[in-house]
Amino acid sequence: MRALEDDLFPSTPGKVKIERAGGAMNRQLHRCFASTSTMFLWALFLVAMTASYLSFQSFVDTSSKYFAASWGGLHWERQIRASAAPRRPPGSAAGAGMSVLVTGASGFVGAHCSLALRKRGDGVVGIDNFNAYYDPSLKKARKALLASHGVYVVEGDINDGRLLAKLFDVVPFTHVLHLAAQAGVRYAMENPASYVHSNVAGLVTLLEACKNADPQPAVVWASSSSVYGLNDKVPFSESHRTDQPASLYAATKKAGEEITHSYNHIYGLSVTGLRFFTVYGPWGRPDMAYFSFTRNILQGKPITVYRGKNHVDLARDFTYIDDIVKGCLGSLDTAGRSTGTGGKKRGPAPYRIFNLGNTSPVTVPTLVSILEKHLRVKAKKHVVEMPGNGDVPFTHANISLARQQLGYKPTTNLDAGLKKFVKWYLSYYGYSRGAKNL
């Protein structure tokens, strides 16, 4: 059965039939149909134009909303300049002070370093994308803490080259402390693309901005102990093999070391890569074992403890956050200048790599018993063989190079560090007030 619309808007065969029939009546009809189809085409054209206009408008709205809300404008620039201004007393022995762009400033290490820099009088501007890899409310709380000390954190991604260029336009940063990354060894099997996005593409976007900046900043950035991968010579020294990564995470960090080397070589960027060894402490990362174990133990939930082959316990060179902060600030203080300008280097610039570890590995079961002691709760342990998910059986740092060149000297052992972590945890999550709001 033909529908009403079929009669009003005949198909092409119908139109042919009318032409064949001839006659005034048919010509009339033809004109009528011709004008109807022209109207139809015009209507279609108008609908298409309106649709594309509307979608363009919504694109413009969304992006301008994003940019207007996140960055740009005179007020924003004033905030950036104020945050970036060093506040060391004139004539201070430590010099005039640095202006540091800290990426991942609302992350664990980023927040601690930003605060330490600010406290000693350096200028700091943060950038963080507040992604949901772990509870963003913890990142917002760190941001609020930084704001209360006069450190402004821009909400944005290191893949946003326009934003980075704008930041360098507003402030001649002397240093970049690049800590933004997709962290976590095992999560790389779930979301490999996020590692490439942040640790490779994001890194290159950032280095491009640094290379284009005038003056070029010195770059200090977070590599990882995981680059040692299957290396079994202990303790791990910077000269050991790092070409056998055990996870995609490790591979992207190793790629970062090679990528930064090329920017150092071609453009004269001063680069210092820091291989962090399992950093822990207050305001830490909820995805890490010491943190999630604490949460589960307090909630009476079981914890999974991985064990290596032949029932050998896994071990880590757990490093306390305050020691890592000292290593980062020592690296910034000793970083030589970048030598490039206008995309060309004028001479060689420093390229350095340091282990920042604790030099005393502790097994995972020992970590658990220290937590039990400080929490005064017994853990429900579920011991399983380490799955093939990128983990390495142990890490152990040789820190001679960092000691020699940065004056790096870790002073907090795991027991003392976890005591501080537990104190913070209980207070942050309201345990001391009996709220248990986890």
Ligand X SMILES: O=C(O)[C@H]1O[C@H](OP(=O)(O)OP(=O)(O)OC[C@H]2O[C@@H](n3ccc(=O)[nH]c3=O)[C@H](O)[C@@H]2O)[C@H](O)[C@@H](O)[C@@H]1O
Applying the rule CB under 6 A, the residues between 311 and 340 that interact with ligand X are 314, 316
Does 372 bind ligand X (CB under 6 A)? Our answer is no
The secondary structure of residue 197, as a DSSP letter, is I
Does 364 bind ligand X (CB under 6 A)? Our answer is yes
Catalytic residue list contains 249:
yes
User: Looking at 55-63, 147-155, 179-187, 374-382, which segment touches ligand X (CB under 6 A)?
Assistant: 179-187
How far apart CA 53 and CA 51 sit, in angstroms, is 5
Does 256 bind ligand X (CB under 6 A)? Our answer is no
Cβ contact 264:270 at 8 Å:
yes
- Considering only 306, 424, 429, 431, the residue that binds ligand X (CB under 6 A) is 306
- Considering only 52, 304, 369, 427, the residue that binds ligand X (CB under 6 A) is 304
Task: Give per-residue burial for 125-159: e unless 16+ CB within 10 Å, then b.
Answer: bbbbbbeebbeeebbeebbeebeeeebbbbbbbbb
Measured from the CB of residue 359, what is the shortest distance to ligand X in angstroms?
A: 14
Does 278 bind ligand X (CB under 6 A)? Our answer is yes
How far apart CA 316 and CA 234 sit, in angstroms, is 12
Measured from the CB of residue 108, what is the shortest distance to ligand X in angstroms?
A: 10
Structure tokens at 73: 């404008």
Residues whose CB is less than 8 angstroms from the CB of residue 7 and which lie 6 or more positions away in sequence, other chains included = none
- Considering only 219, 289, 324, 325, the residue that binds ligand X (CB under 6 A) is 289
Does 71 bind ligand X (CB under 6 A)? Our answer is no
Structure tokens at 60: 């413009």
Applying the rule CB under 6 A, the residues between 7 and 66 that interact with ligand X are none
Separation in Å, CA 186 to CA 94, 131, 309: 41, 18, 18
Residue (171 or 250) nearer to ligand X, CB? 250
Active-site residue identified among 249, 263, 267, 425: 249
Residues whose CB is less than 8 angstroms from the CB of residue 53 and which lie 6 or more positions away in sequence, other chains included = none
Does 109 bind ligand X (CB under 6 A)? Our answer is no
Active site residues: 249
| Residues engaged in binding ligand X (CB under 6 A) | 183-185, 224-226, 276-278, 288-289, 304-306, 314, 316, 364, 391, 395
